[in-house]
Amino acid sequence: MITKKGVAIVPRASKNIVMTVKKMTTARQMLACFPVIHQLRPHLVESEFVQRVARQRIAGFRLVAVFEAGKVCAVAGYRISENLSRGRNMYVDDLVTTEHLRSQGVGKLLLQWLIAEARRKKCKHLVLDSGVQRFAAHRFYLRHGMNITAHHFTMEL
């Protein structure tokens, strides 16, 4: 359960861990997310990361992170948009938990926050793409109520 201030108690092993979900709006906050997002997007360069996020923010991109003991342990990038196929929706560009904390409730907490935020923003759908090779992520999404509804095609130009 996440409070309105983004605080949650996550059970882990024999103790409960306090985690906080926060929107990242400053350059310092965005940069703190880089080590975790880099695990999902290894092509990104740290010195360019804040500028890339800032450019995307102009089009509505938002960055949110889960903190445990003051450290970023999960990150999501998302945007609210509207299209003919789904109406108003939240598109999640990036969703990643630091490797050593996977399968410990952190990703679930972040996904719950994203769902709640999408509802607050009056979205009809939460949408994301996942690389075909990311089997563990696919199991996670399916386990948490998501469905595979389309194929995503790309062409490098």
Tell me, what's the pLDDT at 1? 57
Q: Match 């709006």 to its residue by tokens.
A: 25
The CA distance from 136 to 83, in Å, is 29
Could you say which architecture CATH assigns to the domain 7-143?
3-Layer(aba) Sandwich (3.40)
The structure tokens listed for 83 are 């299209």
Residue range 21-46, pLDDT digits in tens: 999 999 999 999 999 999 999 999 99
Across the strands, what pairs with 91? 79, 127
Residue 132 pLDDT grade (very low, low, confident, very high; cuts 50, 70, 90): confident
pLDDT at 96 over 70: yes
pTM of the model: 0.87
DSSP string over the chain = -B-TTSEEEEEETTEEEEEEEEEE-SHHHHHHHHHHHHHH-TT--HHHHHHHHHHHHHTT-EEEEEEETTEEEEEEEEEEEEETTTEEEEEEEEEEE-GGGTTTTHHHHHHHHHHHHHHHTT-SEEEE---TT-HHHHHHHHHTT------------
Query: Angle, to 10 degrees, between the axis of helix 46-58 and the axis of helix 27-40?
Result: 110
